[in-house]
Amino acid sequence: MSPRDRAQALRFRETASADLPAILRLLADDPLGKFREPVGEGMEVPAAYREAFAAIEADPRNRLLVAEAGGAVHGCLQLTFIPGLTYAGRERALIQGVRIAAAMRGQGVGRAMMSHVIGLARQRGCALVQLTTDKRRPEAIAFYRALGFADSHEGMKLKL
């Protein structure tokens, strides 16, 4: 199957609690995530993750989405709609926690998933879509630039 065919076979959907182990594996299968996400194959999902999942699921402004094909989860992200007074009171969409399975990178899965969520933001009437990515991920930065995202602001974080 060609990369284009694989991307077209993808289905995007809201997550279910049964997806949580697969999502955590995606988050941990990353040079930076492997140090942040203490999960392992066959390990029970820690309570903090189950609680966070339940909070996201209960919040109507948050959507946790997966890209799946053939019954397997190949990508995930969180989409949050943020109300604000700027942009004439229109919402903005925040994309975070984007991960694509290592074996599926470069095959159009990320592009298809991002196109899907940008479409959701447009349908909702959002003024813009924003995201941050770690400066230590040059491939991700190049990917987002290729999708039309601009380095318009300097992002800053304070770890607590």
What's the pLDDT tens digit per position in 112-133?
Answer: 999 999 999 999 999 999 999 9
d(CA 93, CA 73): 23
- CATH label, 3-146, candidates 3.90.1150.10, 3.40.630.30, 3.30.1520.10, 3.30.70.260: 3.40.630.30
The predicted model scores a pTM of: 0.89
Highest mean pLDDT among 97-101, 106-110, 116-120: 116-120
Q: How many C-alpha atoms does 5 have within 13 Å on its Cβ side?
A: 3
Check residues 136 and 91 and name the one with the higher pLDDT.
Answer: 91
Mean residue pLDDT of the chain comes to 90
* Nearest Cα to Cα of residue 21 among 5, 2, 47, 40: 40
User: In a 3-state reduction of DSSP, which class is residue 143?
Assistant: helix
**Confidence label for 155 from pLDDT (cuts 50, 70 and 90):** confident
Write down the domain spans for the chain. 3-146
